[in-house]
Structure 1
């Protein structure tokens, strides 16, 4: 399994175009796949989890080869320079639109995982005219959420999980649970991670302090797919139920045995659900709302 994931990563990053882009007063390391190639589909703008660099989820771009992908490392994460001043969801959503402008992209399907799922929600709320559909993975409505297990949350907030491979190895099951936490594939995930700077990690945590999408979600009419794992130690399944209740045009798919990294451990199921959702025709109601 690890060899398969390694090959997928090598192929995905080989096919990616990596650039450093200065937008909104910030310099970001940006990866794009197939952008500018003929396609019947909109590009996917992807927001990553906290502290995670592009390489952590790059195989996903290879798994959907008929679509363009846009990902970037947050300030101080991966290859993006350390931030000078803090940022929040509002400023980073705006910065994302500046990046789309620079890349010549008008509208996108938006996807986010964990911390990035909150960013994806905020982007869709703040910039509805640039969002067609929304995919939310292993995420919540922000501060109003059902918390994960204390043991997992305490390890999640510790940047040593990126800096110290032995720490990550020791606590992987507590952090991520599910199938991947018990499999050899965890070593592959660990070596794909690049440590964030301490300031970058702290500012990313700070960016969502006090943030919640709860008041806005009932008024957001974007068709939304919610993917959740039933063994997620960090963002319990109940949070997906909250999102499903609040978002009018939403559906939820539960990955059985899926931990916080079900995008990797249950990749085939996830890709099938995403493809079905993204390829479905718009209903008259959703098209009007969009």
Structure 2
């Protein structure tokens, strides 16, 4: 009853075409470990010809996380969006665990395929920011030669074993003893977990609102959209990502970002990658600009799109 009442309130985004924005080109990029990545490209109409902005989404989400940024900057900049391995319309890793090292190499493959020359700006949300850090660790020279700027939204350079990543509380509470069991679970067990997740749609919606948003009454349509992205990520994919996320430690890799302008954005009530994690990044990058979004949760780029877009827009103008 609580969910139904919440979803009936006046909602400015009730008719928003989430996941339906147009693109100019579509392609598939295959990573070195055999995963086909779904990629979409939007052309620039008025922006600089030599600049491409590449957006990298987070865990249990897809390129649709950047819905409002895509709409706001369409035609103003050449933009590239892609779904990370195991997410959205991209393929899954054939075997083994997903790693941030592989995600960094996947981002490099996307760059090679979509922006082989010219300047690039990398925009990463949550795990997408960690992917950019992995790329910086692997190829620091790229940030000297071609990267014109980096935007890190609601992300972290490490110490993630203390956050929940939006998993149900019962899983988060016992995640350490359960991680080996979950990672080694068979397909039958994983299928049962996925069925249980689908059956508990009301609980999933409430958890998404609690852990993803900062305002007291966020748009129900926004909550539903984020929950749909969450639920589309299978339990098998989630389990195969856990180790790399919990062991992520790339504070030293941030040194490569000292050669470029950096914008750090975080909501002040983000419970998944708390504000302290963004502040730690800024301590390692003293020249970085930091924008704190009031009443912003983990998906502040959706929840407070106007404020986040204003910060990104000013940043892009300065480096264009």
TM-score by length of 1: 0.82
SS in 1 for 2:35: strand
Unaligned 5+ segments in structure 1 are 283-290
* Residue among 74, 79, 95 paired with 1:69: 79
1:63-212 matches, within 5 Å, as 63-65=72-74, 66-85=76-95, 86-106=97-117, 107-128=119-140, 129=142, 130-143=146-159, 147-148=162-163, 154-155=168-169, 163=198, 164-179=200-215, 182-185=218-221, 186-191=223-228, 195-212=232-249
Distance apart, 1:146 and its partner CA:
9.1
Query: Which segment is superposed worse, 217-226 or 150-159?
Result: 150-159
8 Å CA contact retained: 2:34, 2:94: no
Q: Residue in 2 aligned with 1:52?
A: 61
Provide, for residues 29-61 of structure 1, a one-character-per-residue CA deviation record: whole Å limited to 9, x for no partner.
423232476740622222211011223333321
Query: Which segment is superposed worse, 159-168 or 83-92?
Result: 159-168
Matched, 1:227 2:227: no
8 Å CA contact retained: 1:5, 1:188: no
Number of aligned residue pairs: give it. 279
8 Å CA contact retained: 1:228, 1:253: yes
Q: Residue in 1 aligned with 2:29?
A: 21
SS in 1 for 2:16: helix
* Residue among 252, 255, 261 paired with 2:290: 252
Matched, 1:275 2:313: yes
Distance apart, 1:277 and its partner CA:
1.0
Distance in 2, matches of 1:135 and 1:92, equals 17
When the two chains are superposed, the root-mean-square deviation of aligned CA atoms in Å is: 3.1
Distance in 1, matches of 2:217 and 2:30, equals 37
Distance apart, 1:191 and its partner CA:
3.9
Distance apart, 1:3 and its partner CA:
5.6
Query: Which segment is superposed worse, 223-232 or 117-126?
Result: 117-126
Q: Residue in 1 aligned with 2:251?
A: 214
Q: 1:216 to 1:27 in 2, by over 3 A?
A: closer
Distance in 1, matches of 2:112 and 2:279, equals 34
Q: 1:281 to 1:58 in 2, by over 3 A?
A: closer
Distance apart, 1:230 and its partner CA:
0.8
SS in 2 for 1:43: strand
Distance in 1, matches of 2:151 and 2:14, equals 23
Q: 1:95 to 1:266 in 2, by over 3 A?
A: same
Distance in 1, matches of 2:123 and 2:319, equals 18
Distance in 2, matches of 1:239 and 1:23, equals 29
Distance apart, 1:153 and its partner CA:
5.9
Distance in 1, matches of 2:18 and 2:77, equals 17
Query: Which segment is superposed worse, 207-216 or 246-255?
Result: 207-216
TM-score by length of 2: 0.75
